[in-house]
Amino acid sequence: MTTCETLKLGLIGDNIARSRSPLLHRLAGEQNGVEVTYDRLVPKDMGQSFDEIFDACEGEGFRGINVTYPYKEIAAGKVEVDDPLMRAVGAVNTVIFGGARPKGFNTDYSGFMSAYRRVMGETPTGTVLMIGTGGVGRAVAFGLAGLGTRRLRLVDRDPAKAEALTEALKSVAPDMEISIWLSAEKAAEGCSGVINCTPVGMVGYEGTPVAPRAMTGAGWVFDAVYTPVHTQFLQAAGAAGLKLISGWELFFFQGVHAWSLFSGLGLDEVALRAALLEKGDAE
């Protein structure tokens, strides 16, 4: 548990000007009487590499950092990961400083599982299509394994990434049936769930990762993008009557889990959610 009155945190990533992580952690700090500073650290804006910023954080009093697109897999190579499952994920979104080596964690994995259960309860996932197998995609795929998914279809512009994820998943879910497809539209046929783990739909990357007509017959969708919350992908799925799991839910739960790692302190999740919504975070 933290004993300090201030907590220095940060986020390294691209295109994070609208990230609400600083707000979430400051509100979490207010609940616990801890002053939180949370810096946005954008390598291209700072004229530095990810490695330079990461190393500076370790030496400048940061308790920890979050890592987002496109640096999660790079971060995994710079930290010690104690949990064997997290090592298999191969992507890190939360780093704690202060020991002999930085410690790495993945709260996207646990955050996705919490987000799914909040919307879908104990409903089985069914056959799932996941588009995008980078850092967040790897975490979500392991979350699907934790939820008991039996059949998973993967689509990625880089088939080698999808193949690497398939091998990693087999180490923890040997009975999962995993296939790699070239066309998202074809892969969506017969799926219960459709997941976007690409930046498509994010501010600056407008569009949708799959044609709306391809989602006919599915039951639910998840979009890892949360800025904006109501992406074109989710809007199309909502119009088709599918249940929606927004990237905001993943953002919320990964943040709650990261806060626990950063501070060792608890949270009133209901109050935190209300405070975020009151401040227009989900608008």
**Residues forming the active site:** 71
- Rounded to whole angstroms, the Cα distance separating 234 from 231 reads 5
- Rounded to whole angstroms, the Cα distance separating 198 from 204 reads 13
Radius of gyration of the chain (CA): 18
The residue whose two tokens read 């104990």 is: 122
Burial of 189 from C-beta contacts in 10 A (0-12 / 13-18 / 19+): middle
Cis peptide before 70 (omega within 30 of 0): yes
Which residues on neighbouring strands pair with residue 153, listed in sequence order? 129, 179
The phi-psi region of residue 180 (left if phi > 0; otherwise alpha if psi is between -120 and 50; otherwise beta) is: beta
Sheet holding 103-105, edge to edge: 35-41, 6-12, 64-67, 94-96, 103-105
